[in-house]
Amino acid sequence: MSDRPDLTVALVAMNWPSYQSLALGYLSAYSLADQRLAGRVGFVTMDLNSDMDPWWVAYRVIRKEPDVVALSVMCWNARSICMACRIIKQARPDTFIIVGGPEVGPIAEEWLESRPHIDAIVRGEGEETFAELLHTRLKGGKPWRVEGVTCRREGEIYSAPDRPLIADLDSIPSPYLSGQIVARHGAAYIETYRGCPYNCAYCYEGKGYGKVRHFSPERVAADIEMVASTPGVGEFSFIDSVFNLNKEHLQRITTMLEPYAHQGKRLHTIEVDIERIGPEEAAMLKRAGVGSVETGPQTVGSGALQACSRRFDSERFRAGVEACKAEGITVECDLIVGLPNDTFGDFLDGLEFVLDVDPGIIQFSTLHVLPGTGLWEHAEELGLVYNSCPPHEIIQTPTLDFADLRRAEVLGSAVTAHYRARVDGSAPPA
């Protein structure tokens, strides 16, 4: 007699090394809390690295003989995920393959058009839609009737209406508290809110998830306690788009984190709006156990800042970095090459600025024109030429031609390599 549930679901993510997928934890936690699914659906979670060979990803999935495979797609893993899906579908044609995530949601119909091996796409926030889709699957219903799903309806690609965002985030059980994720040292992330108060045109966060919605302070405190108390976890982080969302939020989180900081628990690489950090805020970050923060400026070019709806005040930025450094907090400054209106000169100005600010870490990357972002929507009018295949790297702009972009990439890499080669500079632990 088999003890298999009515529906076996394999959840697959291919993360950057040292990341745990919070998304998979949310999906399984939400579905298992659904009384219609409890006891009838079983989950196998495969939290893998993005450098893993798609053939071995497919092998691991196929060996579990799942009825449904659901994969989280980001720009950096889309190619590998696609290949794994194709192999899975060919080996087990009856497997129902679902994908979701910011890479696919905004261009769901286009994705299905060219990928017959994928059965359904969950658009936008996934928890509720995914659970509904599993329920529909269990009862033999039509997936195209599920809000937020794009799939094939009698051979034609069809998008059901959008599903509203989840109003009460506490209705999503915590992956940590429900036991769906066991926190790992350095790889565990907590979310205190969704959305972003800013609307930077190159980012999906502010546009895709709309206005800021919070988890309750009680829920956040419980998550922190669970993660920080997990044996072996000395370091974790937050996935929030801006950790210092406002002073009250920062104060509240600091109060929650301070007891754990006293125990030696540390936070790494939280994203902050550095221009809103003064000595008081930096001291709060320190008390919360923050060891390093990540911030812009992304660019200092006025044309690019305007096109990306970003503000930049060099003096406030510099003051924020100094405040963090005074508290012993390492600052990572990020620059993006290839933003609209930026010239080679603007790129050099950006490099000179961050070198002068001397934050500790300088990180520089090439623009990716991501689906669903403002730049994606306005790419044509901005004259942005980008790779239509993920990860959608910029190819050229009206102000930076193909050759200059490549030159800027090489120069930027050389400068950052020079910058980090310091007497006290050690490589991060493997």
Partner 1 sequence: MIEYVGVPIGTGGMACCSRYPAGKEITFRPVAEIREDVRVVVKEWASGTGPNVTLVGVDPFKHPELPTLVRSVTGCGVKRLGMETDGVALCSGDNAAGIISAGVRHIEVVILAGDAYSHDRLTKIEGSFDAAMAGMASLAEVAKGLGSRIIVCGRSRICRHNFEHTPGIVCAFAEAGASTVTLEVDRAVNRGRMRPLLEAAVETGITYGVWVSIEGLTEEELGEYSRNALSPAYTTPFEEWRSS
- Please report whether residue 402 would count as binding partner 1 according to CB under 8 A: no
- Please report whether residue 418 would count as binding partner 1 according to CB under 8 A: yes
- Please report whether residue 420 would count as binding partner 1 according to CB under 8 A: yes
Q: Which residue, chain included where needed, has tokens 């060891």?
A: 291
- Please report whether residue 212 would count as binding partner 1 according to CB under 8 A: no
User: Nearest approach, Cβ of 416 to partner 1 (angstroms)?
Assistant: 9
Q: How far apart are CA 379 and CA 338, in angstroms?
A: 12
Q: Which of 6, 51, 53, 352 touches partner 1 by CB under 8 A?
A: 352
Q: Which of 225, 358, 377, 393 touches partner 1 by CB under 8 A?
A: 358
- Contact between 143 and 122 (Cβ < 8 Å): no
- Please report whether residue 406 would count as binding partner 1 according to CB under 8 A: yes
- Angle ∠(24,119,105) on CA atoms, nearest 5: 55
- Please report whether residue 328 would count as binding partner 1 according to CB under 8 A: no
For residue 310, what is the enclosing H or E element?
A: none
Where does this chain touch partner 1 (CB under 8 A) — which range of 117-125, 169-177, 347-355, 366-374?
Answer: 347-355
- Please report whether residue 351 would count as binding partner 1 according to CB under 8 A: yes
Where does this chain touch partner 1 (CB under 8 A) — which range of 55-63, 93-101, 323-331, 351-359?
Answer: 351-359
The two structure tokens encoding residue 348: 């050099």
Q: How far apart are CA 315 and CA 233, in angstroms?
A: 37
What lies within 8 Å, CB to CB, of 319 at 6+ separation is: 278
Comparing CB distances to partner 1, the nearer of 86 and 407 is: 407
User: Nearest approach, Cβ of 328 to partner 1 (angstroms)?
Assistant: 16
Q: How far apart are CA 372 and CA 134, in angstroms?
A: 26
Q: Which residue, chain included where needed, has tokens 């599920």?
A: 146
Amino acid, single-letter form, for residue 16 = W
User: Nearest approach, Cβ of 8 to partner 1 (angstroms)?
Assistant: 43
3-state secondary structure (DSSP) of residue 137: helix
Q: Which residues make up the interface to partner 1 (CB under 8 A)?
A: 344, 348, 351-352, 355-356, 358, 403, 406-407, 409-411, 413-415, 417-427, 429
